[in-house]
Structure formats: C-alpha cells, structure tokens
Amino acid sequence: MQRYRFLLIADKLTKNELTGKLTQSGQETLAFSGRQEDLPAVMRSFCPHMVILQEQPAVRATAQSIQTVKDSFDGGVIVVSDNARDNRGLYTDAGADIVIQDSASAVEIIQKTYSYVCDNEQRVMRSMPEVTYSAEVYERICSALSELEITPNYCGYGYIRDILEMLTDSSEDRCRMTKSIYPSIARSYGTTSSCVERGIRTVINKSWQRMSSETKVKYFGLHSPFVSKSPTNSQFIFIVAERISRQIRLDRAVIV
C-alpha cells in the first residue's frame, strides 16, 4: 500500500476514528486545530500529500475553509462530509479535490489519494518542496514533540529536541546516554548531566499524563508495556528517535 502524509484540520477529526485508522494503515498523520495564521508554517514543515477538512455545520463556512487552505497549499484537499452527494458541487467549486462521506474507510481515502496523486503528479510535487535531510529531521522532531505533548515551556524540551536531533541525524552511539550524550547536552546548555536527566524526566512525566492513548499507540505500539506506564528517559528517546528515522527513510524511499 502507498504511504502518504495527511494533515487533518479540525478538532472533530482528532477525536473520531479517522486519524487512528489512517495511522494503523501505515500512513503518517498530523492533526492541526490551531490558529489559521499558523497553518502555512505547519504545511511547509509537514509537507502533506493531502489536507483533510471536516465539514463544518455551515456549508459556506466549509467552502471558506477550503479556499483558505488552497491559498497556502497547492496540493490536494479532501472534505469529509455528512452529506457528500448534495454538497460535492459547492465544495469542488471552492477548490476541494475529493469530497467523501464521513463514513468512508481509511482504505477508501488512501485509494482516492493514490488516484489523485497519479493524476496530479506535477502539482503534488510542486506542493512538496525539496528539503535537506537535516532540515527534515529538525522539523519532524519538532512536530513529534508537539504531538507527544512536550512543550517548549520546559527546559527539558530543548534537551530532548537536541538529543533526538543528535541520534536521528548521525551515527551517535545510542548505548552511551549517561556517559556521553547527557554530558554533551549539559555542556551546550551550561548545566550538569544530572540537571539534563531531571529535566527530561520531568517533561516525559508531564507529557505522559497529557498524551492521548492514540498517540501512545502510534509511537510505542499497541501491545507495548509503555502504553500503561511511563518509559524511562532512554526508552522514550530511543523509541521516538527510531520512529522518526524510520519514517524519514520510508518517506524518502516512496516513489509516487
């Protein structure tokens, strides 16, 4: 099955089963429910193949949302609608590429995405600018930390971000967390290894309390022992780093 990146916009899409279904089908998803002015930056960093919009109560408000997305994105837009047949014309006139019933399965969405990408290869590639590996690593890490509920207001955020970048973007020895990596990060921040370790532990504990079960399954696996209990610093960092590295390798290997 082809692999794509889906950006899902709207609170409802983050709460229903669509995100989980796409993830379980091997797709990469990012849910966005922030300010409209932040949307272009999110699109540039995530580089989605498709943007999925949930239909709003007012049909014309949905059409306006489609136009807003199209102003900052040259790729495909899917609208998930309660009444796709009746509203398809209005939404396609507004710029939607696919209008689909909200009961559609992940497989159906992926198949329609495949058809769209095949028919619009130049347009899709134009909407996904080439980025260096290092830049992609950094953006993926920031996106993952946000999804994992790790926020920049904790000093541990910078520690984890830099360690993930070190592990993902190099062949750093992953077996030397306390003897090598912590001291290196401590020197960069003018602090001690013990402070780095405590800072990381604090943000992991905080994130674990706020993180959804869906996100835990996405990063740590459905049958992972960490779904019910918080992992150690090393376990958390290594698993996330490996997932980011693997996802980048897979995405760069995909030929659409």
- Residues 103-162 pLDDT 10s: 888 888 888 888 888 887 766 655 555 556 676 777 788 888 888 988 888 888 889 989
Q: Where are the domains of the chain?
A: 5-126, 133-253
Residues in the chain predicted with pLDDT less than 50, given as ranges, are: 1, 14-15, 255-256
pLDDT score for 15: 46
Write the DSSP symbol of residue 3.
-
Helix axes 233-253, 193-210, angle to 10 degrees: 70
pTM assigned to the model: 0.51
Instruction: Decide if 40 contacts 69 (C-beta within 8 A).
Output: no
> Taking every pair of C-alpha atoms in the chain, what is the biggest distance, in angstroms?
63
CATH topology agreement for domains 5-126 and 133-253: no
pLDDT score for 255: 40
Which of 113, 86, 55 lies closest to 66, judged by CA? Answer: 55
pLDDT score for 256: 40
5-126 folds as: Rossmann fold (3.40.50)
Domain spanning 133-253, CATH architecture: Orthogonal Bundle (1.10)
Tokens describing residue 191: 């602090």
pLDDT score for 118: 80
Which of 95, 112, 135, 81 lies closest to 6, judged by CA? Answer: 112
pLDDT score for 173: 53
- One-letter identity of residue 218: K
Tokens describing residue 225: 């022992």
